[in-house]
Structure 1
Amino acid sequence: MFTWIPGPLSKRATLAGGLLLAAAPVEAASIGACVSGLKKQAIEAGVSADVAGRMLDGATFDEKVIRFSGSQPEYETPIWDYMAFLVDPERIEDGKRLLKEHDRTLRSVEKRYSVDRHVVLAVWGIESDFGQFQGDFYTPHALANLACAGGRRAGYFKDELIKTLKIASAGHVHPEAFRGSWAGAFGQTQFMPTTYLRLAVDHDGDGHKDLVNSVPDALASTANFLKDAGWSNARAWGHEVRLPKGYNGPEGRTKRAPLSTWAKRGITRMDGGKLSGGEAAALIQPAGKGGPAFLVTRNFEALRSYNVSTSYALAISLLSELVSGGEPFKTPWPTDNPGLSRAQRKELQHLLNKAGFPVGEPDGKVGPATREGIKKAEAHFGLPVTGRPAYGIYTLLGGS
């Protein structure tokens, strides 16, 4: 399960699949006693009393955390919306600029971990917009809410909370710096505490593994994660391909075969070039038949393990190509109502406000208020009511 929230929300490999918490209702009045118990357990586990107090005292019931943990998204995000938001012109240009700005660090990370620096940069861009947005939540309090909510995942979140406190107690990250997702991921490349303790590295040599304030540490830790997940610079993440008319052969991430075998099935590169070699790959069509098709390698699986979603891995793959001077996918998404970039979403919010469908201060993030405004606008124009930020309603309101 991949819960998409602009930012985006990250869970790391330790939260793969089936995360949503089947939590019992949390009473605001009862969380104080629960948090006191968690603080005691943390101290018994080796966390300093001072750090435990600084990070847990004052934790209160957070309805938003519980709601995010127990509810499905209001609608399933089409992949063309997902890609339009995450791989937009602004992120591509920022990526190209930061590729030059952090060239020395990225090259040293690539040399040490044998992970393509453009891919590492792309993860940074997708996870936190290159460090500009690391999350809305103070993760110790979010994790305390999840641990106190009960349910089958409560023990998991308690363990992540205690590990968060241990990271701070060891002096790697300042106690107040844990800003991240409702599920506990933090830092510029959004590691869960368990993943941090296993794979975070000190690349700048200051004695701390600081994924919040140190770009070198964040980038190197990401490369270390991908290396551990099986990334190899000896192969590409994959290839966009052209299928023969009426293709009905094998498809799916688990159905791997050498590139030469796919060539025998009539599949070619987009330019008509022949596929060859023994590299194993799988055919995926993430938007279904009629959309782009890709042969993806083990490297794609390494990207997917970072946040278990095919759309996520594809966004990383495309952004890495574009910041390195590559070209966008050739096959268009199979829709006549494509998604919007962040700039267009912000403009859509402005247009909704202007048209009398108030959504609040435009910020490019599509939350409940914006979806409600879109629904009212769709109803006004006689469109199917979806709440989706898409090109159709955008143009009807005057966007271009």
Structure 2
Amino acid sequence: MTLFHTVKFNQFRVIVFILFTCFSYFVSHAQVDQTAVNDFIRNVAYQQKKPLKDVESIVNQAAFQSDIIDKMNRPAEKTMTWERYRNIFMKPERIDAGIDFWTKNEMVLNEISVQTGVSLEAIIGIIGVETYFGERMGNYLVLDALYTLAFGYPRRSSFFKAELSKFLELCAKEGLDPLAIKGSYAGAMGYGQFMPSSYLAYAKSYDSDTGADLMNEVNDGIASVANYLKVHRWDQGGLIAIQANQSENAEALSKQSVKPSKTISYYTQKGYKLMESIDPNTLASLQTMEMEDGSKEYWFTFKNFYVITRYNHSPLYALAVFQLGKAIKEARKVKQ
């Protein structure tokens, strides 16, 4: 190829690259209503008393990610049986990682548990389920995730617009770079996977009266998870869940609210019995968990189980947190 043809070919490649970039930008932004985006920008600038151009410069750099919509439409908690969901988290390697995390952070964990009254197992269980003890905090830019869901997911558009607004507020307050923070496809961040509104409301610094860095400071992550559960009325020393037996003539029950409202004795009369002995007047709920072969597990769940569902509303999630934390505690005792 002559020099002339080489130059022409390289010019052609540059033109193709520019056209592809422009096309990608157009496709990305064509999937959202730009008028709605502009309205959002104006509202945020007004509400947060920021220059319009500053908000524009951030929001207009967000990219629409279509795979996020796909994932939102297929959450694991709604597409899996309890058995499959449980097996994601109850693996020997995750339990071993939990033991290591507990050992490395034992002093802080003990201190925060005593201060808040929240059990060590609950704190460990949440961080283990959410981020594999900080190893998997998410690969999506939080800005992209919230932008995509705010303007491309009509079913929960209002919620994610509010979260995007809170994210911009959070970044300004804590001096965070909104173009660099990564998290989940739903826009959750840090060790405990807090949404921006939860970050602003419940994040707690371990050693300071102000500010919290949930992405980099493990102590802040631990303190914030415990604080979230405490604020949502964790019952110190209270029960979380106990497995139940179903008798042959047990009465079929409709889906039970996760918030305890009936006594153990009520469920006992329906044919469901505890596998441990506790006061029959204790308030509980009965949760039914589907197994792969079509059979069912039955679990009595209590106030602290309900508190965990304030973190994530799925009963599968709360039971996984409970079982993972308990398994790590028991395995750690064996190794000591």
- TM-score with structure 2 length normalisation? 0.77
> Which residue does 2:169 correspond to in 1?
166
Kindly tell me: are residues 58 and 322 of structure 1, through their superposed partners in 2, closer, same or farther at Cα, counting changes over 3 Å? same
**Going by fraction, where is helix more abundant, 1 or 2?**
2
Judging changes above 3 Å, is the alpha-carbon distance between structure 1 residues 51 and 287 closer, same or farther for their aligned structure 2 residues? same
* 1:165-244 to 2 correspondences below 5 Å: 165-171=168-174, 173-205=176-208, 207-244=210-247
Aligned mate of 1:311, from 291, 294, 316: 316
Change in CA separation of 1:244 and 1:296 when aligned onto 2, cut-off 3 Å: same
SS of corresponding position for 1:293: strand
SS where residue 158 of structure 2 aligns? helix
CA RMSD of aligned residues (A): 3.1
Q: 2-side partners of 1:276 and 1:196: how far apart? A: 38
- Once the two structures are superposed, residues 328-383 of structure 1 have per-residue CA deviations (whole angstroms, 9 ceiling, x without a partner) of xxxxxxxxxxxxxxxxxxxxxxxxxxxxxxxxxxxxxxxxxxxxxxxxxxxxxxxx
Q: CA deviation at 1:218?
A: 1.6
CA distance in 1, matches of 2:28, 2:84: 36
Other structure's SS at 1:216 match: helix
Structure 2 runs not aligned, ≥5 long: 1-25
Distance 1:262 1:91, change over 3 A: same
In structure 2, do the counterparts of structure 1 residues 48 and 267 end up closer, same or farther at CA, with 3 Å as the change threshold? same
TM normalised by structure 1 equals 0.66
Amino acid at match of 2:288: Q
AA aligned to 2:323 is L
- Asked if the contact 1:178/1:187 (under 8 Å) is kept, the reply is no
What is aligned with 1:291? Answer: 296
How far, CA to CA, are the matches of 1:197 and 1:296 in structure 2? 30
Cross-structure match for 2:330: 325
Post-superposition offset of 1:76 = 2.4
1:175 CA displacement: 3.0
In 1, distance between residues paired with 2:70 and 2:282? 44
Deviation at 1:283, TM superposition (A): 2.1
Percent identical:
25
Match of 1:278 in 2: 281
CA distance in 2, matches of 1:229, 1:126: 19
* Greater shift in the superposed pair: 98-107 or 238-247: 238-247
Q: 1:264 Cα deviation (Å)?
A: 6.1
Could you say if the C-alpha distance between residues 264 and 103 of structure 1 is closer, same or farther in structure 2, counting changes exceeding 3 Å? same
What SS does structure 1 have at the residue aligned with 2:308? helix
**Offset at residue 259 of structure 1 (A):** 3.5
How has the CA–CA distance of structure 1 residues 156 and 257 changed in structure 2, closer, same or farther, with 3 Å as cutoff?
Answer: closer
Per-residue deviation, 1:318: 0.4
Cα shift at 1:125: 0.7
User: Quick check: 1:141 aligned with 2:176?
Assistant: no
CA distance 1:294–1:127, shift in 2 (3 Å): same
Q: Distance in 1 between matches of 2:97 and 2:330?
A: 13
Residue identity matched to 2:320: A
Summarize the alignment of residues 43-82 of structure 1 with structure 2, pairs less than 5 Å apart.
43-46=45-48, 52=55, 55-69=58-72, 71-72=73-74, 76-82=79-85
Sort the Cα spacing of 1:238 and 1:168 in 2 relative to 1 into closer, same or farther, 3 A.
Answer: same
Task: Give distance in 2, aligned partners of 1:152 and 1:309.
Answer: 19
Alignment-derived partner of residue 28 in structure 1:
28
CA distance in 2, matches of 1:53, 1:65: 23
Q: 2:290 touches 2:296 (CA, 8 Å); kept in 1?
A: yes
Q: Which residue does the alignment assign to 2:113? A: 110
1:184-215: CA deviation from partner (whole Å, max 9, x where unpaired): 22221111112222222122327322211121
- The separation in 2 between residues aligned to 1:73 and 1:114, in whole angstroms, is 32
